[in-house]
Amino acid sequence: MRGERDTDADWNRLGAEDPFWAVITDERFRAGKMDSGTRDAFYQTGFGDIEHFHAVLRQHFNAPDHFEACLDFGAGVGRLLVPLAKRSTRAVGIDIAESMRAMCQKHLIELGVSTVSLVATPKEAATLGLFDWVNSYIVLQHIPPSRGIALIGDLLAMVKPGGFLSLQITTHRDAHLLSQDTAGPLRKLLRRFRDSLFPRHDVGQITMFDYDLDQVLALIRKAGFQNHHLEPTNHGGHHGFMIYAQKGTG
């Protein structure tokens, strides 16, 4: 859509200037404050998250302890990708931001992890085969649904029959986070026209977007996932759900 915010450009700049804080907006992880201790603490949060996601998949869908192939969408600097790789024979991380992929690759080399591939788009990941577990956490909330719904469809298509999904979306927010824009329809139309002709240059902003849960669940069912489990999420008043599901084999 013309005039829609270029969130890809935002994240490439964030990855170049403040990559750890961009992933977890905790002041401890600001570029100017990071040291070896806070860096280790940052990456340790990823092990905790993946352990939890895996435990839920085991509890509700009898997921295995080890997977042949795992995929992380919005891999960033590898916070979730590394623990996923430790649970799989091979792993793939998708991130549109070249700066994030470069940081992630550096981290993988430091760890001696050689079973991970990094790509920019789901289309590239699809050439590498289907996956036993596809994960995305605190990523789609930063992508406009006009693009994100299609991306979710791409991810669902890459889950092999019998495979698993853990996918987080935001759906609503507390009142103090709602837009206070009271401009009338004509002013909003003129503003969109202005923005399309003179794009804003505040690249590097973190923006949040809400999704329609029913629309996403319908997409998941249509893709062949017969069962799902929902877990509420709340990040500073931005509410949503972690969606866990298993694709059918029939």
Per the domain annotation, does 39 fall within a domain?
A: no
Is 194 inside a domain boundary?
A: yes
| pLDDT on residue 17 | 76
Residue 214 inside a domain? The answer is: yes
Write down the pLDDT at residue 51. 98
Q: What is the pLDDT of residue 203?
A: 43
Euclidean distance between CA atoms 143 and 123, whole angstroms: 17
Residue 130: inside a domain: yes
In a domain, residue 35? The reply is: no
Query: How many structural domains does the chain have?
Result: 1
CATH code (residue 152): 3.40.50.150
Instruction: Tell me whether residue 23 is in a domain.
Output: no
For the chain, list residues with pLDDT below 50: 1-3, 182, 203-204
Does residue 36 fall inside a structural domain? Answer: no
Q: Would 53 be classed as within a structural domain?
A: yes
Question: How high is the pLDDT of residue 202?
Answer: 53
Range of the domain at 239: 7-16+45-181+188-247
Residues 6+ apart with CB under 8 A from 141: 168, 169, 170, 208, 209, 210, 211, 235, 238, 240
What's the pLDDT at 43?
92
Token reading at 78? 């590898």
